Structure formats: structure tokens, C-alpha cells
Chain A
Amino acid sequence: MANGESEVGADAPAGGFVQLLTPEGERVDSVTTAEGVTYSVSFTDEEYRELYRDLVTVRRLDAEATALQRQGELGIWASLLGQEAAQVGSGRAMRKQDMAFPTYREHGVLYTRGIDPIMPFGLFRGVDQGGWDPNEYKFNTYTIVIGSQTLHATGYAMGVTMDGRTGGPDGEAVIAYFGDGATSQGEVNEAFVWAGVFNSPMVFFCQNNQYAISEPLERQTRIPLYRRAAGFGFPGVRIDGNDVLASYAVTRSALDNARNGNGPTLIEAYTYRMGAHTSSDDPTRYRIASEVESWKAKDPISRFKAFLTKQQLADDDFFGQVDEDARTLALNLREQVLAMPDPQPISIFDNVYPNGSPLVDAQRKQFADYQAAFEGSAH
């Protein structure tokens, strides 16, 4: 993709990708793609440090969640380990008015939206289905059925256009998250069709983490995923998904294109799922240790730390403080998870219909009467 690929090391897949920070922590000033689009970032020293803080924090929170699952406090956890740069970069690239449609793994994006990290834990602990108000947080509820949310994002983006909210820097844009597996879903391809036909103000952000549970990318596609976009009539860009700067630069550019009324973009963030698909998965059954090791060398956080160190933007005190702050947040998260009350059984009858239903009402009463029959007895 990037014609600067020869400058940016040998780690790019065939066809290249946009990379602004190498695995060794070297900055690439800008990358111009074969289509002539130039990507770069200009951050203040403080902004660089905050990006680092984001990366470390979301990884630390994720590690805490994994531990909580192992300790039996969460029913399941979908780890983002290895995908921090893709999520933090794209999440920070969103403007306040932009709307995100996540999968169930976008904890890093959620964090960058300024949302309390506890929010999705009801879902993973099993006390609810992951409920919040998408419009309040500009972040839709987690969607578990693979790819379905891409259509929701596209419809929402159509609404943005119908509301006349595109066409300038204050315009709104929408970002749909999904993975490499989802690109095989009919619904995702329908979302591509719709977004193209209606010139929807949106970005399709595909985190290609190389695996759909056990199935490698080769089982989903025979061309690089970003090239799919050409068939739908909009640009596709591949980025180094482990490079938070590339993720930020390309997503910001694509979102701004969208809000200006220039239609959708597909971004393929080429990354790697360092952990299991979820805590229920055993990746040793389908991938070899040396592959995982090779990706460790491309870690998104260590490269950013190396960059900050080399540029003398941060010192050990700073790194130590970030770790400590992240730890505090993680312990706070743990406490909140442990304090989550189990729902009242009668609450299963709540929120089935906005206008209620006599059938549900009758069953709620039946259930309450049945429960009450046991009260005071030694059943």
C-alpha cells in the first residue's frame, strides 16, 4: 500500500502498509500511498505521552479482566491483547461528535471515548447483556453476532446524511469496528454496498488480527482485505495495526473525509491477537509458538516506549508513574467488578418491550407468585 514501504522495515505484509512508527521505535515522518495520499501526525510531547498512557492503561485493564475471568469472577473475557494500538489510535482519531459501533472486543476504543471502563463488565460477568445508551456515549452497545453492527453503523450514517450533518469540519462521522472473520459475512458485504451507494459518512475499521477463533486469514480471503473496498467503490487502506500513530493518522483522515461528505473508507489494521479469542479458547491448538514470538517483536507498546525514550520525551519516572496509575485503575476496576450485584431474578421480565406486553406481565406475576410460595418454607 505505502510506497514508502522499503523505508519502514521488512515487517510489512506483501503490498505494504502505512507505518509511521517502526517496531524498533523509529518515526517515519510521513507516508504517501500509491494513490498519492500522504499520512502524517504532529503531536505535542504531552500528546505523545498521553497516547502511551492510553496504550498501557488499556493493556493493564485487559490483564485485570483476564485475571478476573481466571478467578471465576467473569464468565468470559475477550482480550484485546496485541490490538491496543489499532484501538487507541482509531479511538483517539474520533472527534467528539463521532459515533462508534463496536464488536465485543473494543474495550480500548471504549476507554478512549472517555467511558468508565466498568461499563461492559456487566456483560462479561453475566449480570446483564451489556446495556447502556449508545447516544449518550456515542458508542453503541457491544454486538456479538459477527458483523451485524456494520449494518447498524451504515444505517446510522445514512441518518447523519439525512439530518444534513455532513459537509464540513463540524460534520459527524461513524466508525464501524469488525474483524477479519467478519469480512466473510454477507451482512458486512451488504454494509459495504449500502455505504458505497449512499455515500455514507463512515469508516469501516477492520482489525485483521489474523485469526477468526482458529481459522487463519487464508480461510476468509484470497486477496488482502483492504483491496475488497475497490470492488465496492471506495478507498481501502492498510495500516500497521500495531502502530498507534498510523492508526490515528489514517483513521482521522478517513473520518474527516467522511464528515466532509466524501464517503466511506475501509481501513485494514494489520495486527495480531496475542491472546486467545476469548478465555474459552486454546490457541495452542491452531498456531505455533514461533509465530506468536515473531509478533512480540512488533509489540505496539514497546515500540512506542522505545520511541519516547529515544526522543527523550519520557523517562523512567514517567513510565513508572504510568504503570502505577494503570495498576490503580485496574484495582479499582476489580473492586467494582466484585461489587456488582447479581440481578434480581424478577428483572428478567424487564425491558422486553417499550410498551410492555400482557403475556410478559402475566408471566412476571406468575413467577413472583411462584417465588413467594417458597418464602418461609424450608424448601
Chain B
Amino acid sequence: MSETLTLGKALNHGLRRALENDPKVVIMGEDVGKLGGVFRITDGLQKDFGENRVIDTPLAEAGIVGTAVGLAIRGYRPVCEIQFDGFVFPAYNQIVAQVAKMYYRSLGNVRLPIVIRIPYGGGIGAVEHHSESPEAYFSHTPGLKVVTCSNSADAYSMIQQAITSDDPIIFFEPKRRYWEKGEVDLSLAPQDAYPLHSSRVAREGGDATLIAYGPMVRVALDAAEAAAEDGRNLEVIDLRSLSPLDLDPVYASVRKTGHAVVVHEAPGNLGLGAEIAARITEECFYSLEAPVLRVTGYDVPYPAARVEEEYLPDLDRVLDAVDRSFGW
């Protein structure tokens, strides 16, 4: 029963399935109930599952995550929604000091199967704090796992896999892709879907490797399409899991192509791209024809909406980096 769904609707279906499959799953956050979330990702869920399963919380992010910790100790599987990327920081203490460390601190006695959903990234013309990419902060924190989806099929499966996982997971949703459509097999059980913490080749090619995740996968695929017209075949890898990283497919690709370009929206300095470049260099040193290059957001606060297109990596900047790699 394959259906064409937007990424946002696929998440909604995935959350619905998770609520159906396990009575301990609860969704909590600001406006997630009656309103269905500001992006409508939880649309209709409170109506069908009740106010104890889909909880409109007070407006305080530390409270959302902190009470989720207590609910998890009690045996629940909370799915927290942080309304926007830039609003996660009030909860940062609870996420980094408590959620990430409780299992370690308790010598493995306390599992916190918490999912923290965060719509992230720019490109929607929003005001400050609504367009950020804070994934590196969380990927840097031991004890957390971090994933992001780039398409509808992954959105549907990955959110369910994250909820069934006993690991605490930060689930980044590419908000500007919420409305992009894709085919989703709604009969696919989470355990049969592509593994959560695995990267995937999104497009095969033998000339250079583009490594992207979340909202940038679309940009990378478009760049590969454009490059193909010029006779250059770019391989695109969708990382999907940001912590842990699954880089074996990346190494295999780079050993084949000798050229690697990492693309992300977050600022480049000490971002995911830096870690990926370091590891590729270590694993594929003798295969590389050029240094690993990065195409990222600049190291400035996320700019005003009228100039955000200049800030965001786009097709031209990606192809420019590919050209630089070949010209090295």
C-alpha cells in the first residue's frame, strides 16, 4: 500500500503507528494537541489518542524534556516536540546533562527511550531562531544518538524506529522539506525498514562523492543531476544517522572516486563536515585526489530571511566545490 505523502504527513503517519503499537508512547510538546503542532506533524493525534497520550505542555522546553525523563523512568516512551531548532536551548541542560548521561550514571539501570523531535534548518523565510541547524551540539554529546531524515519514506520509518529504540534520540526534521512528496510504503514495519543508524547511497556515481543529510540531500541530488549533464557522475550519500556516523559506505565511495565534498547547512567551523573530513582522510588517505572539501553555512549567526539564500549551500556552491576538487 504505497502512497504519495509529503514528508510531514509521513511523519504524522509514523507517529500514529507508534501510538497504536505501544500504549506507553506519549507525545508531548507545545501546541501538539488541539492545534496538531505548528507544522501539523501531530495533526489529529490528540483527537484519536486522547489528552494523556498527546499532551499539550506548558511553554517551557526544559520542562518538556525534564518531565519526559521522569516519565521514562516510570516506563513511558516520551516523544518530545521542540517547536523550532532555536528553542531547544532552554532544554539543553536536561538533554546533555540528564538525558545523555542517565544510562551511564545509573550503570545501565535506567533506560531513557526518549525521542526529541526538532524541526531544523532554514529556507522558509522565518525570523531569528527559526532556521538553525544545531545538530553538531548534540552529535558531540556521548550518550545521545542523532538522526535526520531527508525524504518521506525515511520519515515514516525512521520516526518509528527511533521511538522503538531504547537509546535517547534527537530526531532532526528538515522543516523546509516538510511539504515535499515521496512514495511511502505504509505497510512496512519499522524492523523491516532500512536500519536507523545506517547511511545510504542516494544516487550512484563514480566521479566524486557528495555527502549530505537532511535538507541538503535534495540540494546534493540536484547538483548531481546538473553535473550529469556535463558528463560528471556524482555519487550522493545520505548520512541519515549523525551520531553514530555510518561512514563505511562513504569510505567505499571515496576509494572509488577520490573526491569528497561534504554539504551541510550548519556553520562549517567544528561542524559535522570537519569530523567527516578527518575520518575520510584517515581511512582513505591514499585514494584521495584532493582534500575533502566542505560546503556549509557560513560562520555567522543565521542571517535575515531576505539574504538566507546566499547563506544556504545551493546547487551552484556544491558544483563549485566539485570543480575545485577536480582542479586541485
B105 lies within 8 A of chain A by Cβ: yes
CB-nearest residue of chain B relative to A362?
B244
Chain B residues with Cβ below 8 Å from A352 are: 103-104, 142-143
A151, B74: Cα distance in complex, Å: 13
A159 contacts B105, C-beta separation under 8 Å: no
Contact with A132, one of B76, B109, B243 (Cβ below 8 angstroms): B109
Quick one: CB contact mask for B95-118 with A, threshold 8 Å, 1 for yes?
Answer: 001100111111111110100000
**B114 to chain A: closest CB distance in Å?**
10
Given known A187-B94, A353-B167, contact A154–B110 (CB-CB < 8 A): no
* Complex contacts, A162 vs chain B, CB 8 Å: 26, 52, 76
Report B-chain residues with C-beta under 8 Å of the C-beta of A131. 105-109
| B320 located at the interface, meaning its Cβ lies under 8 Å from any Cβ of chain A in the complex | no
Residues of A within 8 A of B166 (CB): 354-355
Alpha-carbon separation in the docked complex, A156 to B67 (Å): 7
Residue in B closest to A150 when the chains form the complex, CB atoms: B66
Complex contact B245–A354 (CB within 8 A): no
Interface contact B93-A159, CB-CB below 8 Å:
no
Contact call A157/B70, Cβ cutoff below 8 A: yes
A193 to B106, Cβ gap below 8 A? no
A129 at the B interface (CB under 8 A)? yes
- How many A-B pairs with Cβ below 8 Å? 144
User: Is B73 at the interface (CB under 8 A from chain A)?
Assistant: yes
B34-42, B56-64, B126-134, B218-226: which one contacts chain A? B56-64
In the bound complex, how far is the Cα of B110 from the Cα of A362, in angstroms?
A: 24
Contact A350 B98 (CB under 8 A): no
B293 interfacial contact with A, CB 8 Å: no
A155 in the interface (beta carbon within 8 A): yes
- Let me know if A186 is at the binding interface, CB within 8 A: yes
Please tell me if the beta carbons of B60 and A159 are within 8 angstroms of each other in the complex: no
Range class of the B interface residue count: 35 or more
Q: Does B69 contact A (CB under 8 A)?
A: yes
Asked if A128 meets B107 with Cβ closer than 8 Å, knowing A154-B70, A158-B70, A358-B244, the reply is yes
Cα distance A141–B73 in the bound complex, in angstroms: 11
Given A156-B73, A158-B71; A351-B104 close (CB under 8 Å): yes
Q: Which residues on the A side are within 8 Å of B142 (C-beta)? A: 352, 360
Chain A residues with CB below 8 A from B165, complex form: 355
Q: Which of A130-173 contact B (CB under 8 A)?
A: 130-136, 140-141, 143, 145, 148, 150-160, 162-163
Residues of B within 8 A of A197 (CB): 58
B235 to chain A, nearest CB (A): 22
B107-A351 in contact (CB<8A): yes
Q: How far is the CA of A81 from the CA of B105 in the complex (A)?
A: 26
Interface size on A, residues (CB 8 A): 45
Residues on A with beta carbons closer than 8 Å to the beta carbon of B263: none
Cβ contact within 8 Å between A190 and B66: yes
A148-B98, A152-B66, A154-B66 given as contacts; is B75 within 8 A of A159 (CB)?
yes
Cα separation A151 to B90 with both chains bound (whole Å) = 13
Residue from A150, A156, A186, A197 with most neighbouring chain B CB atoms (10 Å): A156
Looking at the assembled complex, report how far the CB atom of A174 sits from the nearest CB atom of chain B, in whole angstroms.
8
**Known contacts A352-B104, A355-B167: A155-B71 contact under CB 8 Å:** yes
* Chain B nearest Cβ from A115, distance in angstroms: 14
Q: Which of A130, A163, A355 has the most CB of B within 10 A?
A: A355
**Interface residue? B68 (CB, 8 A):** yes
- CA A349 to CA B42, docked complex, whole Å: 37
Q: What does the 1/0 interface line of A283-297 toward B look like (CB < 8 Å)? A: 000000000000000
A357 beta carbon closer than 8 Å to chain B: yes
Q: Which 8 A-B pairs have the closest CB atoms?
A: A155-B70, A151-B66, A131-B107, A159-B74, A155-B67, A156-B70, A190-B63, A354-B166
| A–B pairs, 27, beta carbons within 8 Å | A128-B107, A129-B104, A131-B109, A133-B106, A134-B110, A141-B106, A145-B98, A148-B98, A151-B67, A152-B98, A155-B70, A155-B71, A156-B74, A157-B70, A158-B67, A158-B71, A159-B70, A159-B73, A159-B74, A162-B26, A163-B74, A190-B66, A191-B67, A194-B57, A352-B143, A353-B145, A355-B167
* 13 further A-B pairs in the complex, CB-CB below 8 A; given A131-B108, A351-B108: A128-B107, A131-B109, A132-B109, A141-B102, A151-B65, A154-B70, A155-B68, A159-B71, A191-B66, A194-B57, A354-B108, A354-B113, A359-B245
> Which residues in A have some Cβ–Cβ distance to B below 8 Å?
101, 128-136, 140-141, 143, 145, 148, 150-160, 162-163, 186-187, 190-191, 193-194, 197, 350-355, 357-360
